[in-house]
Structure 1
Amino acid sequence: MVQSYLSLFMKSAYLAFEAQQVMALRMMRIAGGGKLAEREMRRMVAEKASAGTEVGMEMVMGLATGKSGTAVTHRAIRDYRSRVHKNRRRLSP
């Protein structure tokens, strides 16, 4: 049990670290202005709405089918990390 929570903490910490990198990269792109900045702002808003809805539904379905809260949370973090990682790769110079 403790190991599961420690794993959850570490995955959450890595997600937070990588998300901060994406925020910094996005801010640099937006600060540059122009069409790229406008496109990035639209994309950012759309991605957040989509990710929140999709992961939220997965969590509800997981809990409704009897999965543990810890298992559902691990999956949610994995899904968010995947999205954040793709954004970091896309935005990196």
Structure 2
Amino acid sequence: MFGAWWKLGMDATLLAMESQQVIGLRLAKLSLGGPAAQIEAQRMVSEKIMAAGEAALLMATGGSTQSMVTGYRRKVRANARRLSQG
């Protein structure tokens, strides 16, 4: 039992740190303005709406908090990779 809580705590902490990286990268992109910034702003909003819906569905169907955090981390890391390359 302790191991599961420890993993959830670590994953939540890593999610927070990885999210801050994505926020910084997005702010940098948005500060440049132009079409790329507009696309990123639209992507950010649509991703948040989709993620909230997916999380609600996951929890409504008996998913675990761990699976929700794991899913968010996967998406945040993908955004970090994408934003770091452009």
TM superposition score category, shorter chain reference: over 0.9
The residue number in structure 2 matching 1:24 is 24
- From the CA coordinates, give the structure whose radius of gyration is larger: 1
Over the residues paired in the alignment, what is the CA RMSD in angstroms?
Answer: 0.9
Quote the Cα distance in structure 2 between the aligned partners of 1:55 and 1:13: 18
Quote the Cα distance in structure 2 between the aligned partners of 1:4 and 1:39: 38
Structure 2: segments with no counterpart, 5+ residues: none
Q: Give aligned-pair identity as a percent.
A: 39
The residue number in structure 1 matching 2:59 is 59
TM-score of the pair, normalised by structure 2 = 0.94
State the 1:92 CA deviation: 0.2
What number of residue pairs does the alignment pair up?
Answer: 85
Secondary structure of the residue that 2:40 maps to in structure 1? helix
The residue number in structure 2 matching 1:48 is 48
TM-score of the pair, normalised by structure 1 = 0.87
Q: Detail structure 1 runs of 4+ shifted over 3 Å in the superposition.
A: none
1:3-50 CA-partner distances (Å, limit 9, x unpaired)? 211111000000110000000000000001100111100110000000
The residue number in structure 1 matching 2:8 is 8
